[in-house]
Amino acid sequence: MQQAGLADDDDEEIWVKEEDDEEEEDGYYMDPRSPAVWTPGGRAGGTSNRRRAREEKERTKMRERQRRAITGRILAGLRQHGNYRLRARADINEVIAALAREAGWVVLPDGTTFPSSSSFAAVAAQVVMSFHECGGNVGDDISIPLPHWVIEIGRSNPDIYFTDRAGRRNTECLSWGVDKERVLQGRTAVEVYFDFMRSFRVEFDEYFEDGIISEIEIGLGACGELRYPSYPAKHGWKYPGIGEFQCYDRYLQKSLRKAAEARGHTIWARGPDNAGHYNSEPNLTGFFCDGGDYDSYYGRFFLSWYSQALVDHADRVLMLARLAFEGTNIAVKVSGVHWWYKTASHAAELTAGFYNPCNRDGYAPIAAVLKKYDAALNFTCVELRTMDQHEVYPEAFADPEGLVWQVLNAAWDAGIQVASENALPCYDRDGFNKILENAKPLNDPDGRHLLGFTYLRLGKDLFERPNFFEFERFIKRMHGEAVLDLQV
């Protein structure tokens, strides 16, 4: 045996068994490429073949020495820097087993290897309870309607849907007026939502217990967002139209009458008749123009009732969601209606259910109900820049940056977590930088920041080289990595 030590690591000793260089002189030599030849005196023929075999043998021993030296250095590094418990003469199987265990896999003594349930903890899933149809909105390329049995009920009783002043029904989701009405085969809408959530929790129990499902986003309206479906493309709405109030089904009308009677003004049991149509501008309507009826006694009453119906719906569903998903994080998505934000009435927000004119904070009541059930707020449009919107649609008087600032601070002031997502496809550096600014505002004395960010949507355009380069750069910066500020 010949000992071969590592010059740069005296602790590591690699033992290589050396074969005796002397061949047995028995008169024969077998060359694998030619038949054996015997010559008198015990000498084998083919001297050149014998020499080549010895050279190949030396090369083989040299390669083995090099391989073992490299293995020794790898093992030394793993022990020194990786805290791997490897014996001095560990082989490659032990190295692989140690790496597998480090990754959370189970390695049995016979070498059988499989992932443990805990190894999936790093793969967290956010599940959305979608109580709305998918399709017909910006970015939708599929169509998933409401359940067939709900649609059948809607054919005989269309008032289960949100309805505009002209009587057009929006089948995207159920009206909040049926939250407590037994119109769904003997059940109320909130009972149906709760039954679905409870069934989901039971069916996927192991994913909750293993932490794979880390958060449940509760759908509370159109597109899964907490809002009225006030700007549906299917009814002809185009950006930047103000939208229309959606309170003309008989159940919400009954609620409005009760509120007006309680106030002592039964004449107020009606929707505004001067609020324009889906694509109106606020200054061309009597309700939303500066000094308009939105700020009259009746206007303040109606908008308070309209927005409170939204908050009450969130309260009812979140109470049951907290029961169904006890111990699991829940979240609510709120849409970013940023157009007409620079006007006094904030008309598009009012029709969507956010009572947020220039003299009132319409998002504080929403933050308060989320705080009540320890729910996070997921807000959209964090990638949009006000200057860009002004350049493309100057007539919209949009201010996405101002809206994001208001909503994020309302949530943080209420003490709830905030996450976000982009509203439109985003591939450029300016948009990504705006997301980063909102994710962790500079000079915030309380160090407040976003809980997380969801990128929408992973399409083929994202994987084009310039776009993917910017996306990769954005992800690195989001995780705190320093990157070169280079353009492609």
Determine the pLDDT at residue 116.
64
Angle, in degrees to the nearest 10, between helices 400-414 and 429-439: 20
Residue 176 burial by CB count (10 A; 0-12/13-18/19+): exposed, middle or buried?
A: buried
Task: Tell me phi and psi for residue 430, to 5 degrees.
Answer: -60, -45
Determine the pLDDT at residue 26.
41
- The predicted-structure confidence for 403-430, as pLDDT tens digits, reads as follows 999 999 999 999 999 999 999 889 999 9
Give the domain 123-424 fold: TIM Barrel (3.20.20)
Determine the pLDDT at residue 45.
52
Please give the span between the terminal C-alpha atoms of the chain, in angstroms, as a whole number: 59
Determine the pLDDT at residue 35.
45
Q: So which residues are the catalytic ones?
A: 225, 421
Q: Which of 336, 256, 343 is nearest to 294 (CA)?
A: 343
- The predicted-structure confidence for 139-198, as pLDDT tens digits, reads as follows 666 788 999 999 999 999 999 999 999 999 999 999 999 999 999 999 999 999 999 999
Element (H, E) at 409: helix 400-414
Q: Which of 184, 164, 331, 324 is nearest to 244 (CA)?
A: 164
Q: Which of 353, 245, 268 is nearest to 307 (CA)?
A: 353
Task: Name the residue ranges covered by the structural domains of the chain.
Answer: 1-73, 123-424
Determine the pLDDT at residue 182.
98
The secondary structure of residue 285, as a DSSP letter, is S
Instruction: Tell me which residues of the chain have a pLDDT lower than 50.
Output: 1-42, 44, 119-121, 488
Task: Tell me phi and psi for residue 251, to 5 degrees.
Answer: -75, -45
Report yes or no on whether pTM surpasses 0.85. Answer: no
In angstroms, rounded to a whole number, what is the distance separating the alpha carbons of residues 315 and 368?
10
Spacing of C-alpha 127 from chain mean position: 9
Determine the pLDDT at residue 298.
98
Spacing of C-alpha 220 from chain mean position: 18
Contact 146, 162 (CB under 8 A): no
Residue by residue, DSSP assigns 311-361 as HHHHHHHHHHHHHHTTTSEEEEEE----TTTTSSS-HHHHHHT----TTS-
Residue 387: both structure tokens together: 């200057």
- The predicted-structure confidence for 32-87, as pLDDT tens digits, reads as follows 444 444 444 445 456 777 888 888 888 888 888 888 788 777 777 776 766 666 67
